[in-house]
Structure 1
Amino acid sequence: MVEVGQSSESGFRLPYSRLVRNGALREEDSFQRQATNFGGSGSRNTSPLGRIGSRNTSPSRQKVIKTKPRGLDEETVATFNKAVQPDVQMEDNIWAMLPEDLLNEILARVPPFMIFRLRSVCRRWNSILQDNSFLKFHSQVPSHGPCLLTFWRNPQTPQCSVFSLPLKQWFRIPFTFLPLWAFWLVGSSGGLLCFSGVDGLTFKTLVCNPLTQSWRILPSMHYNQQRQLIMVVDRMDRSFKVIATSDIYGDKSLPTEVYDSKLNKWSLHQTMPAVNLCSSKMAFCDSRLYLETLSPLGLMMYRLDTGQWEHIPAKFPRSLLDGYLVAGTQKRLFLVGRIGLYSNLQSMKIWELDHTKILWVEISRMPPRYFRALLRLSAERFECFGQDNLICFTSWTQGKSLLYDVDKKAWSWIAGCAFQSYNSQVCFYEPRFDASVC
């Protein structure tokens, strides 16, 4: 929708209040007040621009359109001094002589899900996923943007769908290669997925790239026991690690095991001290793994570089009903939880850990209208997970997803993203062709 200023006998006014829902930008608002005072009652416009039928050629006369940032539903305002040029008809003979390096660089910027549609153009493009030159350019371009990956079995066949927030579209990914024992989705990192499960009496772990359909089963751990796992990918080193912490049932104290893809083996490290864990949710940021504990109260931190555990006495906020640890960028660690003993007084808050004072500092509270729409019942179950500085809330009962951008301090519904299966496992996912399981 394009709106422009209109000329009149008493000057001109920009109908800017129609462009922004909640107030106006400071700079534009100041400009509007100046224009209003200039053409108000009691003033005389002697400029030829103020005459009836004249045309306003002032540089301030701009076209204003609404745009939406990638993956978010909140509207922003963009102004342009020049009209948008129409698309130019492409000449086949010119594009046929395009250098191969330049062509690979262009294709590397195409959304990964669209590459599969382009593979039917010619034989060259059909084998582009095996082209090292294309993969090199693809590894250097920015990420496609945040995606939500859902995994479930229906009833035994594994199903996987990815919702692209930038494209606002679902994409189905075939998972026929996945063994039947791979039941639990451990998580995602750097374009790879990690699954675990029990095959007979053996606990197994698998890592795969859904886009390239490449996968591998990791060697057996030293202790054949179901463990809490988390995967970390190092894109610069083109490697990944899987960390196995305590026994999933908490019955045994087992040494921490770390799998290194470069060494293709598990190594034993310090056993986590005896603690009473709050939940199995973990967060990894800045080469450190964090878990919530009730006794002793606070966090348990595992340093990947030294292989040692450490207790952090960070007390949880009062009246916290259920909390989730969410890793942000660099050293930022968030705590997301519902507070309030009574249903009519409950709310959702987000805290950030102050590493210096070892204290949780509140940084945001979910607006009441979002909280009531997401969780209509006091005991309703929800999930929370994050990537970078984005935090996603999902409610299986309502089938809704809510996104919070920590940097922009913006809440928004994820339009078109509704989860139908109650047993779906969801995580953030970064689609990448260059993510290797080797």
Structure 2
Amino acid sequence: MEPSIWSRLPDDLLDRILALLPLKTLFALRPTCKRFNSLLFTPSFLSLLNSSPASSSFLILSHPQFSHRFLPLYDSSTDHWRTIPLSSPTTHLLSSSSGLLLFSVGYSSLLVLNLLTNCSTVVRCPTNPISSATLISSPSSSPHGYRIFVPCPNTNWVFVYSSASQSWSRFSGLDSVMGHSNFRQNGILFHGSLFFSTPEPFSIVAFDPVTGVWDPRAGPELPAELAFVRLVNGRIGKEERLYLVGGVGRDGISRSLRIWELVSGNWEEVGRLPELMCRKFVSVCYHNYSHVYCFWHEGLVCVCCTTWPEVLFFKVGRETWHWLQRCPLLQEKWSCGFRWFSFVPDLYALV
């Protein structure tokens, strides 16, 4: 149509059309005029956007060679790789949750970034060095903040940061549930608490980031003959689910990889890795399961290893296993330090 006709299009009708566009297109429109620039912060438009089809989701690959430059993103819906430049000085990616990314900055600071809006804030950490940190944020249809869980190495303390109060709280009790092991794993958020698997003898403990209370017996008895244990929190629709990924074997050597789901207070097996794929997985790990980590990504239970650039994933809905091949941006000489994260863009995640 002629520009004169488009210019008379009512704003509410134009907003309905714009709400159907991909989020990356909306952000490309922001510099074109003042109205488009402020549109994503208008409650009426955000309501339209929230009712439109879901935006794309991505897998992010972090590696020391990518620091200070860019992040590779894999779009699972289009089977396509793209890169996102990093404008803020970061060291490496630590955690991801509900549209927010958590980076370490220098020796004792953290950077929280909403990659979609390109808004960020630096949080000064009360302990250093930062060996691990978990970002706690739940998806919501309205603006929401976050918390940061940071264990203090070689002490009995953990620190929790609240974006609402912009302050840190210190809680004790870490040694009583985790022992004196090198605590480097990220917790997973389930029903408002952070869940962790302990070193052998394996068990599950939970931490309430609001009250600071530890629950040393947060789950039912684990399956027998486990060589390693990882927890994964999933969300199908509005329902939260808890999964257990474990290697089954004897003498600390995994002969089988299985997935259980917590159903009515018991662990029910929902997936078992085929033998040929399990052989590859075991050869990748070299029976050193400290390098293995797991996470949830849009209906997938992803199993990764810091020494291997591929992702092994289980489709919960179809109960099938697959490998995601290595990122084409990786060079052959990069042999360790691979970390994958799930990233689902969220306009409501505030920093």
Which TM-score applies when normalising by structure 2?
0.79
- 1:244-270 CA-to-partner distances (Å, cap 9, x unmatched) read 2532x4x1111x332221211112344
- Tell me whether 1:143 sits opposite 2:54 in the alignment: yes
Q: Show the 5 A alignment for 1:43-82.
A: none
1:366 partnered with 2:273: yes
Partner secondary structure for residue 294 of structure 1: coil
Q: Which runs of 5+ in 1 are unaligned?
A: 1-89
Amino acid at match of 2:155: K
- Equivalences for residues 88-167 of structure 1 within 5 A: 97-115=8-26, 122-123=32-33, 127=37, 132=42, 134-154=45-65, 157-167=68-78
Measured after TM superposition, the shift of residue 367 of structure 1 is: 2.4
Task: Describe the shift of the 1:228–1:396 C-alpha distance in structure 2 as closer, same or farther (beyond 3 A).
Answer: closer
Answer yes or no: is 1:423 the counterpart of 2:337. yes
In 2, the alpha carbon distance for the partners of 1:327 and 1:227 equals 22
**Paired residue for 1:321?**
227
Equivalent AA in structure 2 for residue 253 of structure 1: N
Partner of residue 196, structure 2? 291
Question: Is 1:238 the counterpart of 2:143 in the alignment?
Answer: yes
User: Tell me, what secondary structure is at the counterpart of 1:280?
Assistant: coil
1:351 aligns with 2:260: yes
**One-letter amino acid matched to 1:214:** C
Q: Check if 1:336 corresponds to 2:245.
A: yes
Counterpart of 2:155? 252
Which residue does the alignment assign to 2:320? 410
The one of 303, 310, 315 aligned to 1:400: 310
Identity of aligned residues (%): 26
Distance between the aligned counterparts of 1:417 and 1:124, measured in 2?
38
User: Among 192, 207, 210, which residue is 2:100 paired with?
Assistant: 192
Contact 1:243 1:259 in 2 (8 A): yes
Letter in 2 for 1:401: V
Structure 1, residues 59-115: CA drift from partner, whole Å, max 9, x if none?
Answer: xxxxxxxxxxxxxxxxxxxxxxxxxxxxxxx78776554332333333333232344
Tell me, yes or no, if the aligned pair for 1:390 and 1:405 is still in contact at 8 Å.
yes
Per-residue deviation at 1:205? 1.6
Residue 135 of structure 1: CA displacement? 4.2
Deviation at 1:155, TM superposition (A): 6.7
Say whether the 8 Å CA contact 1:297–1:314 is kept in structure 2: no
Contact 1:194–1:206 under 8 Å retained in 2: yes
CA distance in 2, matches of 1:308, 1:216: 28
Q: Which has the larger radius of gyration?
A: 1
Residues 284-339 of structure 1: CA distance to partner in whole angstroms, max 9, x if unpaired?
Answer: 11101111113664111112354311111644433322322111224422111233
- Cα separation, 2, equivalents of 1:395 and 1:224: 26
CA-CA distance at 1:194 after TM superposition: 0.9
Gap change, CA 1:333 and 1:156, over 3 Å in 2 = closer
In the superposition, relative to structure 1, how do residues 216 and 157 fare at CA in structure 2: closer, same or farther (>3 Å)? same
**RMSD of equivalent CA atoms:** 3.5
Corresponding letter in the other structure for 2:258: K
CA gap 1:216/1:398 in 2 versus in 1, 3 angstroms: closer
Alpha-carbon shift at residue 163 of structure 1 (Å): 1.2
Highest RCO, 1 vs 2 (Cα 8 Å, sep ≥ 6): 2
Q: 1:209 aligns with which of 114, 126, 134?
A: 114
What is the match of residue 272 of structure 1?
A: 174
Rate the CA distance shift 1:406–1:188 in 2: closer, same or farther, 3 A: same
TM-score scaled by structure 1?
A: 0.65
Q: How many residue pairs align between the two structures?
A: 335
Q: Distance in 2 between matches of 1:395 and 1:253?
A: 28
The SS at the match of 2:63 is strand
- Residue type matched to 1:218 in 2? V
> Quick one: which amino acid aligns to residue 166 of structure 1?
S
User: What's the secondary structure of 2:137's corresponding residue?
Assistant: strand
Report the AA paired with residue 327 of structure 1: N
Quote the Cα distance in structure 1 between the aligned partners of 2:141 and 2:119: 20
